[in-house]
Amino acid sequence: MPRKTMVEAIRDGMDVMMERDDNVVIFGEDVGYFGGVFRATQGLQAKYGKSRCFDTPISELGIVGAAIGMAAYGLRPCVEVQFADYMYPAYDQIVSEAARLRYRSNGDFTCPLVVRMPTGGGISGGQTHSQSPEALFTHVSGLKTVVPSNPKDAKGLLIASIEDPDPVIFLEPKRLYNGPFDGHHDRPITPWSKHELGEVPEGHYRVPLGQAVIRREGAALTVLAYGTMVYVAMAAAAETGVDAEIIDLRSLLPLDLEAIVASVRKTGRCVIVHEATLTSGFGAELSALVQENCFFELEAPVRRVTGWDTPYPHAQEWDYFPGPERVGRAFLEVVSGDQ
């Protein structure tokens, strides 16, 4: 099977869908002729023409607002916001409009729309190229929120998202574009071409939204992770020797609560990791759900390891990032009961 980077896999997912369904249209800042600052849409304009893949003015509001109108018309727009940090101008259209068209019109109008955006830090991007705003989407009824962690999933989840009848926020951990980054920023990165999950099936396939996957089985501890943090957790498990069961959530909403509960019931311990700031991050929801559903099985407090409650700094990036050392320490404390 061909190996692809995550960017290539995402591009492939769009390509497959544009080929199959001429209602799929793609646009955003720099996505047309140039193919996007991360090159995710490279070649699509040449292949499908300017009216199916084009550059837009720099207005995230305009991109999403126009896409909602198109979705209401019957198209399936898949638009790019250049960095998740720049989605705020579009937030009203996402929250008040995309998420509620179906409900408020009782299905008269619907909004099959995908908003792709690169998230997460680790590229020296400072506070405006590093954010992970997933919790700002999971709080909004009517949205689905997806975070792939590898090329194979990314393509399958993106196809499922484009085919979904409702709006999907598709968060792409940009630090994973080229390889499975485990937080050891001082070591050379393994490229996807050397990684099993870089094997991306040809053509059309779906990874359904709402199904988590266990990346590592284990008995001592359940780790809930998504995106980049999956690899950080893997590294932490390897380095601490803690027999962690690592769940890659893949989709935060809908959430695979069953998989989570089954694992925590088995291990009795749970660590949640994400890159976003702690307070009111998605980890809070996960923590609440775990203790609501597994209270009597829990042997230690559910623990969150996350970015700190500060903007993402430029120079202190690796002090902010919840790397394998910090995650590993939490593993050890949770299994030892040493809180």
Partner 1 sequence: MNDQPPLSLHVPEPAVRPGGKPDFSSVKIPNAGSVPRPEIDVDPESIRDLAFSIIRVLNRDGEAVGPWAGLLSDEALLEGLRHMMTLRTFDARMLMAQRQGKTSFYMQHMGEEAVSCAFRKALEPGDMNFPTYRQAGLLIAAGYSLVDMMNEIFSNERDPLKGRQMPVLYSSKALGFFTISGNLATQFIQAVGWAMASAIKRDTRIAAGWIGDGATAESDFHAALVFASTYKAPVVLNIVNNQWAISTFQGIARGGSGTFAARGLGFGIPALRVDGNDYLAVYAVARWAIERARRNFGPTLVEYVTYRVGAHSTSDDPAAYRPKTESDAWPLGDPVIRLKNHLIRRGVWSEARHKQAEAEILDGVVTAQKEAEGHGTLHAGGKPSVRDMFEGVYAEMPPHLRRQRQQAGV
- What are the catalytic residues? 129
Q: Which residue from 336, 286, 335 is spatially nearest to 306, judged by alpha carbons?
A: 286
Q: Which stretch binds ligand TPP (CB under 6 A): 82-90, 117-125, 220-228, 272-280?
A: 82-90
Tell me which of 100, 185, 206, 265 binds a second copy, using CB under 8 A: 100
Smallest separation, CB 124 to partner 1 (Å): 3
78 membership: H or E segment, kind and range: strand 76-80
In one-letter notation, the amino acid at residue 8 is E
* Positions in 193-232 near a second copy (CB under 8 A): none
Q: From 288, 261, 254, select the one nearest 141 (Cα to Cα).
A: 254
> Of these partners, partner 1, ligand TPP, a second copy, none, which one is at the site of residue 165 (CB under 5 to 8 Å by kind)?
partner 1
**Binding test (CB under 6 A) with ligand TPP, winner from 15, 29, 166, 248:** 29
CA dihedral 319, 320, 323, 325 (to 10 degrees): 40
Closest approach of ligand TPP to the CB of residue 132, in Å: 17
Q: How far is the CB of 89 from a second copy (least distance, A)?
A: 5
Cα–Cα distances (Å) from 201 to 149, 176, 177, in that order, read 16, 19, 17
* CA 79/CA 82 separation, integer angstroms: 10
Total of chain residues touching a second copy, rule CB under 8 A = 43
With CB under 8 A as the contact rule, the residue among 217, 258, 292, 319 that binds a second copy is 292
Q: How far apart are CA 213 and CA 219, in angstroms?
A: 16
Q: Which stretch binds ligand TPP (CB under 6 A): 81-89, 107-115, 140-148, 309-317?
A: 81-89
105 contact choice in ligand TPP, partner 1, a second copy, none (CB below 5 to 8 Å, kind-dependent):
partner 1
Nearest residue (CB) to partner 1, 200 versus 224? 224
Q: Is 14 in the site for a second copy (CB under 8 A)?
A: no
Scored b (16 or more CB within 10 A) or e, 169-192 reads bbbbbbbbbebbbbbbeeeeeeeb
Least Å distance, CB 231 to partner 1, is 22
State the nearest-atom distance from the C-beta of 187 to a second copy, in Å.
29
Residue 138 partner contact from a second copy, partner 1, ligand TPP, none using kind-dependent CB cut-offs of 5 to 8 Å: a second copy
Q: How far apart are CA 243 and CA 221, in angstroms?
A: 7
Which residues, 6+ apart, have CB-to-CB distance to 146 below 8 Å?
A: 157, 161, 168, 169, 170, 171, 209, 250, 251, 252
- Of 34, 47, 50, 58, which lies in the binding site for ligand TPP, with binding defined by CB under 6 A? 58
Look up tokens 């009203």; give the residue: 92
Residue (of 239, 279, 5) closest to 136 by Cα position: 279
Residue 318's identity, in one-letter code, is W
Comparing CB distances to partner 1, the nearer of 36 and 268 is 36
Residue 127 found at the interface with a second copy (CB under 8 A): yes
Q: Does 153 bind ligand TPP (CB under 6 A)?
A: no
List the single partner that 283 binds among partner 1, a second copy, ligand TPP, none, CB under 5 to 8 Å by kind: a second copy
**CA 274 – CA 227 distance, rounded (Å):** 8
